[in-house]
Structure 1
Amino acid sequence: MVALMTVQHNRSYYRNIFARVVAKSRIYTLLYEFVHGVQLNDARWLSLTKIRELFDTE
């Protein structure tokens, strides 16, 4: 009985750690997008316009 309880405890313990890590990575991703999102979008947009200019021969 004690061994079964420790297995369940370990499983929930690791699940909580995993949930915390996932939540932290989501928060960091959101923060990164919030801080760098505009710059990344500008760079992407500029590169797309450059590619269009290269292939646009009209």
Structure 2
Amino acid sequence: MSEFYFDVNAWEKDVAERKEQEEQEGKKRKRPTKTDLERFKEQKRLKKIAKTAWLRT
């Protein structure tokens, strides 16, 4: 029924092509390093402080 509204075959073909392309490139999701995690935490802390700065004035 969904084939009536959507081109399912083209979508499946596109998904397969993307998977093949990713496998050929060897790209995998890169895990963040410890320094990255610390930097992200610090950015989050600073953002939270900036949001609530009006409370401390």
Give the TM-score normalised by structure 2. 0.41
Give the TM-score normalised by structure 1. 0.40
Normalized per residue, which structure has more helix?
1
Structure with larger RCO (C-alpha < 8 A, sep 6+): 2
